[in-house]
């Protein structure tokens, strides 16, 4: 009996500290929202932000080759960006500090959801991640000062392969929820102000039904 209780207690302790994650499909195939387990107490917290085997089991079977961090003031809007082949990127994104509204737009010609978008609020508290495979344009607006944003990318940055769509494109009609967060006018870089209209993008990505 003593051996059984010892085994049982070790099992419970081990189970308690195994990191699990909840993966939620969005209305657009391929876009996933990931909610990792957070282990916290009065000392702080622990969270597993990436485990190759676990992510492969949930359909994210890729190799990440570049990690990036950006820091943004409240109201800064970056996007909508993508890279063309052969430097197309998948991105696993999350917020380290602060919060953003993150947006992904389907730019795969022939897709049933071509031109549709999904938005997710990512914060340092909820620690959610957003998986955005190649074939999507990506952008976010910072909802707090000193927001630090993290990207894991499946390809390296290549300037000649850059593509970008206007953040306020009328065809896309993205709800950036600016008024909800007290942002009167987003802060957009001079470069992003020159982004092209959605209707003018080339067929860099063509949907392939699996």
pLDDT tens digit sequence for 180-203: 999 999 999 999 999 999 999 999
High-pLDDT (> 90) share of the chain, %: 76
Catalytic pick among 50, 87, 109, 151: 151
Asked if the structure places residue 161 within a domain, the reply is: yes
Per DSSP, the residues of 39-72 read EEETTEEEE----HHHHHHTT------EEEEEEE
Cα 191 to Cα 29, 157, 176: the distances in Å are 30, 17, 19
At 10 the pLDDT is 38
CB crowding 70-85: b at 16 or more within 10 Å, else e: eebebbbbbbbbbbbe
pLDDT tens digit sequence for 123-144: 999 999 999 999 999 999 999 9
Asked if the structure places residue 209 within a domain, the reply is: no
Q: Say how many domains are in the chain.
A: 1
At 69 the pLDDT is 97
Q: How many residues does the chain have?
A: 210
Q: How confident is the model at residue 14 (pLDDT cuts 50, 70, 90)?
A: very low
Q: Which residues contact 194 (CB under 8 A, 6 or more apart)?
A: none
Instruction: Give the chain's mean pLDDT.
Output: 90
Domain CATH code at residue 146: 2.60.120.10
At 61 the pLDDT is 94
**Is the per-residue pLDDT at 4 higher than 70?**
no
Catalytic pick among 50, 81, 87, 207: 81
Q: Any catalytic annotation for residue 81?
A: yes
Asked if the structure places residue 169 within a domain, the reply is: yes
Between residues 19 and 106, the one the model is more confident about: 106
Asked if the structure places residue 192 within a domain, the reply is: yes
Asked if the structure places residue 11 within a domain, the reply is: no
Model pTM? 0.87
Minimum mean pLDDT among 35-39, 150-154, 164-168: which range? Answer: 35-39
Q: By residue range, what is the domain housing residue 39? A: 20-200
């Amino acid at each position: 009996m003593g051996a059984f209780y010892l085994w049982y207690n070790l099992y419970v302790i081990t189970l308690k500290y195994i990191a699990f994650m909840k993966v939620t499909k969005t209305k657009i195939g391929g876009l996933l929202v990931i909610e990792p387990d957070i282990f916290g107490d009065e000392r702080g917290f622990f969270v597993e932000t990436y485990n190759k085997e676990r992510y492969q089991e949930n359909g994210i079977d890729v190799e990440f080759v570049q990690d990036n961090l950006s820091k943004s003031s409240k109201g800064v809007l970056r996007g909508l960006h993508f890279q063309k082949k052969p430097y197309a990127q998948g991105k696993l994104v999350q917020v380290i500090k602060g919060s953003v509204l993150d947006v992904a737009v389907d730019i795969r010609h022939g897709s049933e959801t071509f031109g549709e978008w999904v938005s997710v609020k990512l914060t340092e508290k909820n620690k959610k991640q957003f998986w955005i495979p190649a074939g999507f344009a990506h952008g976010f607006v910072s909802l707090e000062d000193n927001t630090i944003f993290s990207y894991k990318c499946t390809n390296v940055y290549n300037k000649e392969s850059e593509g970008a769509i206007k953040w306020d494109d009328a065809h896309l009609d993205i709800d950036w929820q600016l008024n909800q967060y007290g942002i009167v006018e987003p802060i957009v870089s001079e470069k992003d102000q020159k982004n092209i209209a959605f209707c003018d993008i080339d067929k860099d990505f063509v949907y392939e039904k699996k």
